[in-house]
Structure 1
């Protein structure tokens, strides 16, 4: 059994990255259920922690301190992360709707999407205000406001605890930065409901100390540019308006068919909804057996019970009951580093309460930062010699990081005869073949990728773009494709789900490029691998590696760094937002860029051999040298930092050895980074550079002129950009 790969048979889907789900992911990583495939759906790669939001607004925490990195957490849990906002659940079909991708199927699912403080019924709010929840948008909007230099008038609608904390934090931040301004807190009812009299007095004193103007029992009737209109006719001037007026459920929950309570998902003491296959937790849930106010402490306490019950639902085990505590410690920030604490009617305030709150919040966030990283399994004894060297001391990368090195590949291919076919034109160094069929020029190429992320939809899109790269690089129009898939061991139902996701995603990319998937083959293996054989039609001579000329400018259409970023993701060292940006770059088709570069003398797509290796291919085929300016090469966010930390993709050492003419150290290290679905590297006439770059930038490509071809030996060197 030790060497048997157990099949996946059941799908567990977590909708939302709230506190309860984040803790479930952490527990799942430490104790996975064999046979269960875990998916988490979140609109963002980072989930902001609400407990530290007032501290961030006040300036006590950096923005990054609020973030739970769901990419890193999902990697630890062995889960696939689907980036997108769920908009519906089809209970009959057992599917979650996420716009922009095939539905996500489930056997068991859980909802923890939190709440919103948006006020769609307040005229002008959607257009001129920023709700305090979701936190990501609010935090980023506040950063823009506080970064200015002019006086700021702020209005907060909703004088509950959350609104009061925000108002005091904003007032403190403005004063600490020497900004003149005013913060006004508005509520249609009395302020601070739910707090005892003593705690409410302490918070009111804090509002007064921060200079916050409190308007009670007079509601807002509209938000206009620069102002909030009140029911009594007053006009509150405001450059920045936010809303924290209680918990608002997400509107899409109403169409799911689940039983709701005032818009919130009704759950029993097992955290199950009216559908036994669906659970819910956190602020989006209403506990029917023991109603409680909306507070993050309940989500944290629900997490262990939710974790056990989800496992029981998947395995047929016995479920636990959740019994919420009667009261909880309320710690309310007062803007500066002081807080009010209340529980069971006892109240204390001052700096000690803030330090207590800071310790609680920091320990909570540390749970998601102190995660074990992937390592190699212990090697067996005895073992054949050379195993340690072959493993390379770290897990094998996916994508082009798992490709065979340039030296080994060429050694195998060079001795092969070209054959006797007169309808095949040899293209030395190119990754595609040119066929002559009935007077038509047809380009043929094939490529596949070992999966490096668990989402088959994103992986299929990247694999399709990657396979099309050789067709685009030769100036051909994609025509037809066949798919070649290796699926991991799955039950028949999960096989169908994964195949449907892959083919739907790949078909979208291929059809967008003008090609059709006409068939393919599949098998079962150790891990997911996706590949395509692709043909393209050339109405003209294809663009190859061999016609570059000295003096040509070198243009690159995409930033580099996918290898190091994904290697960093495997090691738990890359930031989630940087990983997502890299995935988005890899999944971006390049048909438009190829059309702009149609007049190139030589062109290739930058993939496994890295930028240096693929430039070397052009130099060797064209008989030119090249000067490359590393500082001009566009880089993915996070790539330089990870490279400076010594993070390397599996293929990096082979790529480095293949181009000894280039220097070591600094940014130059990234020239050997293997790329997956990388950019087009084109040698173009010098006089065309400005026009080409302007067109590429207008299309949204981060393209750059990075060097030039030169007279000289066929190898690249570094230097400044030629004039």
Structure 2
């Protein structure tokens, strides 16, 4: 039986993308639980791996090697990924609050948000210091600082193992660039007291060899810009000050209602918190039954038990107990490609230990770089002719990539007879219809999208912006909307949750655009589909496809590439930060851009037919041609690289066939790429082009002048 068509009945929400949750997602992708809807919430599209941070700081690893791609991992697990930092969990109402969106309901939740090394009580640290955790912010700022010029003074606050690793890595990196002026490790007590005497001696020797100044029993008075003031009045120069002094829990856990130990979530042997349906793992959890120091090895070892127990909590099966080991192998980086290993009092150091640590770290990361290919269900032994060709060799795209091609659609519409009504103005080729009611001009359009993301809120925002595009493209002001929804099969409880999220997001977008949602229709089906019928009022003459004049400048308000990016994301071939950026650009409304372009001679929104298909529509309706300046056309991050690798949306062949005389290859194939919630393409008077571009960019649009209107009906040429 195809389990993907079974109804959804329970929500499992993973708060945080820590190491334990990352491993749970991987296991889930290999064996999903039918009926469970999985969600992962994380501040960004990636989760840095702490074990490789010192190697990155030293320059042994590139920035990309440090990250677990949560967007790609979530696609593998068929999970909804919500990019945002959780700020509250309401265990009574079973809701997780993330800024900028409706609360996320759960039946079972797990928290793995790590720790922070921020020092809010240390004067000046918030302004001039950089906490080592969360890792992503630290890594980004270090990458910039490392490449600067001139002598560098650096300092790490906290003389534990983590602090020693960091300062050794920083000193090694800066010395190799000829920049190290001073490196200082500061501790308010005795440094390296948490490890054995022999290991401590080796690390102290390494500090001396790397020229690191060790300040023990030193109390800090204040962090200043460029230096640190100690309580004895002395000063330590530091252009880059970071904190690695202990583990601090995130403050919002204090209001969770969960039992805490020093701010960390108390868990029992099954990793359950004081709320039986809320689990916790990794550094944010305190193991009441067997307290241990904060270390990644425990997070990794917790993952099989957490994976089993989350499923068991959803199915009613017995839970397993987690038994942490008493000691573990500590592998500590020492700046150069050397490491120190310690376990049960035995200590070894040198390049061999580094190679061992590197193999362990690389093996861990390889679990997420090389995700197993999960094959779809096989075709039945007996099936109709052409079934394999109809299925194709890749998943069907969502959004505009799932639409019918331009030639097929226009050919069908051409055969329809126009109603002979005085209150309808025919607009061949335009997506919206122009009506006249009581002397008032009104446009009406409808559009719907097959989902390409498991997040109903994000999908709704994009679908609403997409539907409004037809109204904005005609210079109208959005008036009213009805929603047309198909939900996947799910229990009544999940239906209510999903509808609440969808309608909350839809209402927000429509109200911001000036429209009111006045109703709609819902039904259940195989997959999520979201659409809107929208009307708009025309306080000024409507802008159509017909009206472009030779010499006009062609202005595009958004970059191209959403079709290729979403196709690659479905295949697990797109980087998470590329996908996140594309989704954000698709979510950007075009109302302000439409107002700036209200004097355009012709305008359309670039959607399913791609840039060339929609430009052809303007040319045919206006009786003109066009020249595109290909090097000026803005592209989404990663789109050109994916296109050069041969990735295409499933609608690409139909779009290319519509303008078959234009031959493109590589990244230029993006001119045919179907766009979802794409930008406005406007023909404006040439003498106003610079002013319009300036206004669009000031309003936050990555707009560009991409070509000009020429003579010759439908003749489109490409130039650099």
TM-score range, shorter chain: over 0.9
**Matches of residues 75-94 of structure 1 in structure 2 within 5 Å?**
75-94=75-94
Task: Report if the CA contact (8 A) 1:10-1:107 is conserved.
Answer: yes
Q: Shift of the alpha carbon at 1:178?
A: 1.4
Task: Report if the CA contact (8 A) 1:593-1:696 is conserved.
Answer: yes
* Alpha carbons of structure 1 residues 419 and 409: separation in structure 2 relative to 1, 3 Å: same
Q: Partner residue of 1:668?
A: 668
Q: Partner residue of 2:381?
A: 381
Q: Partner residue of 2:281?
A: 281
Rounded to whole Å, the distance in 1 between the matches of 2:375 and 2:443 is: 41
Q: Partner residue of 1:216?
A: 216
* 2:354 is aligned with 1:354: yes
* 2:574 is aligned with 1:574: yes
Q: Shift of the alpha carbon at 1:2?
A: 4.2
Q: Shift of the alpha carbon at 1:229?
A: 1.3
Q: Which runs of 5+ in 1 are unaligned?
A: none
Secondary structure of the residue aligned to 1:233 is: coil
* 2:658 is aligned with 1:658: yes
Secondary structure of the residue aligned to 1:290 is: coil
Q: Shift of the alpha carbon at 1:387?
A: 1.9
Q: Partner residue of 1:164?
A: 164
Q: Partner residue of 1:315?
A: 315
Rounded to whole Å, the distance in 2 between the matches of 1:586 and 1:3 is: 31
* 2:353 is aligned with 1:390: no
Task: Report if the CA contact (8 A) 1:661-1:717 is conserved.
Answer: no
Give deviations 1:624-678, integer Å, cap 9, x for gaps.
Answer: 0111121110000100000011000010000011012322213321100000000
Q: Partner residue of 1:432?
A: 432
Give deviations 1:578-602, integer Å, cap 9, x for gaps.
Answer: 0000000000001010111111000
Q: Partner residue of 2:447?
A: 447
Task: Report if the CA contact (8 A) 2:3-2:34 is conserved.
Answer: no
* 2:53 is aligned with 1:43: no
Q: Shift of the alpha carbon at 1:181?
A: 1.8
Rounded to whole Å, the distance in 2 between the matches of 1:193 and 1:527 is: 57
Rounded to whole Å, the distance in 1 between the matches of 2:422 and 2:377 is: 51
Task: Report if the CA contact (8 A) 1:631-1:667 is conserved.
Answer: no
Two-structure CA RMSD over aligned residues (Å)? 1.0
Give the TM-score, by structure 2 length: 0.99
**Matches of residues 705-716 of structure 1 in structure 2 within 5 Å?**
705-716=705-716
Structure 1's consecutive aligned runs of 4 or more residues displaced over 6 angstroms after TM superposition are none
Task: Report if the CA contact (8 A) 2:11-2:106 is conserved.
Answer: yes
Rounded to whole Å, the distance in 2 between the matches of 1:527 and 1:137 is: 37
Secondary structure of the residue aligned to 1:222 is: strand
Rounded to whole Å, the distance in 2 between the matches of 1:363 and 1:111 is: 25
Task: Report if the CA contact (8 A) 1:268-1:288 is conserved.
Answer: yes
* 2:268 is aligned with 1:268: yes
User: Larger deviation: 665-674 or 336-345?
Assistant: 665-674
Q: Partner residue of 1:136?
A: 136
**Matches of residues 628-647 of structure 1 in structure 2 within 5 Å?**
628-647=628-647
Rounded to whole Å, the distance in 2 between the matches of 1:335 and 1:691 is: 53
Rounded to whole Å, the distance in 1 between the matches of 2:90 and 2:676 is: 35
Rounded to whole Å, the distance in 2 between the matches of 1:661 and 1:693 is: 31
Q: Partner residue of 2:303?
A: 303
Rounded to whole Å, the distance in 2 between the matches of 1:4 and 1:311 is: 17
* 2:515 is aligned with 1:515: yes
Q: Shift of the alpha carbon at 1:287?
A: 0.3
Q: Shift of the alpha carbon at 1:374?
A: 5.7
Q: Shift of the alpha carbon at 1:194?
A: 1.4
Q: Partner residue of 1:603?
A: 603
Secondary structure of the residue aligned to 1:483 is: strand
* Alpha carbons of structure 1 residues 101 and 435: separation in structure 2 relative to 1, 3 Å: same
Q: Partner residue of 2:13?
A: 13
Rounded to whole Å, the distance in 2 between the matches of 1:258 and 1:607 is: 47
* Alpha carbons of structure 1 residues 454 and 386: separation in structure 2 relative to 1, 3 Å: same
Rounded to whole Å, the distance in 1 between the matches of 2:689 and 2:239 is: 44
Q: Shift of the alpha carbon at 1:4?
A: 7.9
Task: Report if the CA contact (8 A) 1:555-1:705 is conserved.
Answer: yes
User: Larger deviation: 222-231 or 113-122?
Assistant: 222-231
Rounded to whole Å, the distance in 1 between the matches of 2:594 and 2:526 is: 36
Rounded to whole Å, the distance in 2 between the matches of 1:401 and 1:599 is: 31
Secondary structure of the residue aligned to 1:185 is: strand
Rounded to whole Å, the distance in 1 between the matches of 2:453 and 2:72 is: 12
Rounded to whole Å, the distance in 2 between the matches of 1:130 and 1:592 is: 37
Q: Partner residue of 1:419?
A: 419
* Alpha carbons of structure 1 residues 230 and 4: separation in structure 2 relative to 1, 3 Å: closer
Q: Shift of the alpha carbon at 1:438?
A: 0.5
* 2:527 is aligned with 1:527: yes
Rounded to whole Å, the distance in 1 between the matches of 2:376 and 2:313 is: 32
Rounded to whole Å, the distance in 2 between the matches of 1:161 and 1:201 is: 12
* 2:697 is aligned with 1:697: yes
Task: Report if the CA contact (8 A) 2:30-2:374 is conserved.
Answer: no
* 2:77 is aligned with 1:95: no
Rounded to whole Å, the distance in 2 between the matches of 1:120 and 1:43 is: 20
Q: Shift of the alpha carbon at 1:380?
A: 2.2
- Count of paired positions: 720
Give deviations 1:166-212, integer Å, cap 9, x for gaps.
Answer: 00000000011111321111010111121000001111111111111
Q: Which runs of 5+ in 2 are unaligned?
A: none
Rounded to whole Å, the distance in 2 between the matches of 1:326 and 1:150 is: 47
Rounded to whole Å, the distance in 2 between the matches of 1:297 and 1:691 is: 58
Rounded to whole Å, the distance in 2 between the matches of 1:412 and 1:715 is: 24
Rounded to whole Å, the distance in 1 between the matches of 2:430 and 2:608 is: 13
Rounded to whole Å, the distance in 1 between the matches of 2:402 and 2:375 is: 17
Rounded to whole Å, the distance in 2 between the matches of 1:628 and 1:169 is: 50
